[in-house]
Amino acid sequence: MDRLFALKVFCVAAETLQFKETAHRLAVSAPVITRSIAELERALGEPLFIRSTRQIVLSDFGRQFLPKAQGLLDESEQLFQNQGNDDEMHGVVRIAMPILPFNDEILAELLTALEPYPHITLDWQVGGKRLNVVEKQIDVGIRIGFAADSNLIARKIGKMHEKIVIAPKLLTKLGEPADFADLKKRYPLAALADENTGKAWAWHINDDEQILANPQFYSQEMNAILAAVKSGRVVGHILDCVCADALANGEIVELFAEVPKIQWPVYLYRQQQSVTPARVKFVFEELARIVGRRFIQAA
């Protein structure tokens, strides 16, 4: 048994609580994960996980063993570090970001974290278009939604959902909609444009409700849609993090607040490679910390 690899498998499995996802992250087959955990449990003489048909959870022993395993892995990383790692903190890191209201704050914090590494060059790309990560040589990025890519190592760092919002003056003029059919029939709607096709995205409310709007305003910029909503021209379907301030200060109000909304996962990703430069790993971990904290604060 490769004990260091088995410890790595255990630590990743303890984070994901899914052997299939662990296999994906480590670029091995699921049976390799199952076998490594079983061999480690035999060597330790204790179960690390409690398994059921639906899920796995850490055992009491597993929870106690986890910090020791993580510490051993950290020590092994330090043991094998050499002067060549300093060279890895030179070069370009390409980052793909969706359009988020706190992008400037994220960038400012990341640049502060990179102050000890003046030879790292950031290529900071912001937009809504789904990029070909390999073709565009993207090192690290954030994606919103459920789409998976087997070429990526992804870490869930938060979740967000849309709210249906309207300006008070338009609500006074038209009244509150009776239901979604009434909303679509009587109200001017806005839609987000798909940067890849130019077509308007449907409003995905939840698994049971979807509105394919005939928009009277649409844009690739969600902030532009928010501006149109605040003006009283249209009703919008806007990410909670984008419209939070306008809701808080009363510029807009929420419709159908009681209706459950789809919770979109937010993933930080990097390319799955046999060797990943230290600078890319550093930026990945810093973004996980910086962006993840914002979702925790918003929860």
Together in a domain, 168 and 234: yes
Token pair in block for residue 75: 């020590």
152 with 191, same domain: the answer is: no
Are residues 286 and 247 part of one domain?
no
> Which among 87, 89, 246 has a CA at the least distance from the CA of 163?
246
CATH of the domain at 171: 3.40.190.10
Domain that holds residue 130: 89-159+264-298
Residues 118, 287: Cα–Cα separation, whole Å: 18
143 and 274 share one domain:
yes
In single-letter form, the type of residue at position 252 comes to: I
Per-residue pLDDT of the chain (299 residues; tens, 9 = 90+): 788 899 999 999 998 999 988 988 887 888 999 999 999 999 999 999 998 777 789 999 999 999 999 989 888 877 765 545 556 788 999 999 988 888 999 999 999 999 999 999 999 999 877 777 878 889 999 988 865 566 788 888 889 999 999 999 999 999 999 999 999 999 999 999 887 787 889 999 998 899 987 899 999 888 999 999 999 999 999 999 899 999 999 999 999 999 999 999 999 999 877 778 899 999 999 999 999 888 765 55
In this structure, are 101 and 127 located in the same domain?
A: yes
The verdict on 150 and 166 lying in the same domain is no
SS3 296: helix
- Distance between alpha carbon 134 and the CA centroid of its chain, in Å? 19
Are the C-beta atoms of 23 and 153 separated by less than 8 Å? no
Our count of domains for the chain comes to 3
One domain for residues 124 and 270 = yes
